[in-house]
Amino acid sequence: MFRSTARISTPRADRYREQLARHGAGMMRQHDRDDKSGGPPIRDVRSTDDVLVLDLAWGTCAVTSSDGVLILVAEAASAADLARLQAGVAGRVRKIGRRDGLEAVWSPVEGGAPPEHTERPPTQRRGWALGGVALAVVVGVAIAIHLGLGAVLLRQGWAWWVLAGLGAVVVLKLLVFRHAAGLLHRRIMRR
């Protein structure tokens, strides 16, 4: 887990913590209505007497206030997610505290990367394997259809160079399809 803290001095720290809670709840409702809200994707807002927790798609941010200091503690699984979380929360703090000139200055990132070789759950591996089998069946059927078409055209007296051109089109389709399947595989494995 990656973690960073921002301490903002303000005599109205409690007020800003409560305002962040209201803004977070409002942003969550807006995001539920319209995914194109542009704000950070807030999943949940939990508040107790002392701590406000904003649960975003990128991680969490705990907000506390104590003796004229608003304290923000952001945590995320990756450095990129932490940076997005910091920017989203800092932008919100800047917006609600514009009259007082509030600015979130984050501490250096603490923590480290999770282990590189984590095994994926069996359901994800199995899902990709079934998808690979289905993909192989679809490609096999497509090749059979193209070969059958070529045989029919050859019997009807088409020139060999026309059939060679059709074969080149089939090979081009396969290359494009393989490239697209590779991109899809990398996207799935990143999740």
Judgement on whether residues 151 and 130 belong to the same structural domain of the protein: yes
Cα dist from 173 to 30, 44, 184, whole Å: 43, 45, 16
Over 70: is that where the pLDDT of 26 sits? no
pLDDT in tens, 97-156: 888 888 988 988 887 654 454 444 444 444 555 566 777 788 788 888 877 877 787 788
User: Total structural domains in the chain?
Assistant: 2
160: phi then psi, degrees, rounded to nearest 5: -65, -35
Confidence of residue 7 (pLDDT cuts 50, 70, 90): very high
Per residue in 88-105, pLDDT (tens digit) is: 888 888 988 888 888 988
Residue 116 lies in a domain: no
Q: Give the domain-ending residue among 90, 111, 132.
A: 111
- Name the domain boundary from 51, 82, 111: 111
Residues 177 and 101 in one domain: no
Q: Phi and psi dihedrals of 146, rounded to 5?
A: -65, -40
State whether 78 and 146 are in the same domain. Answer: no
Global confidence as pTM: 0.53
| Domain interval for residue 186 | 122-190
Same domain, 156 and 79: no
Same domain, 90 and 15: yes
In Å, how far from its chain's centre is CA 155? Answer: 53
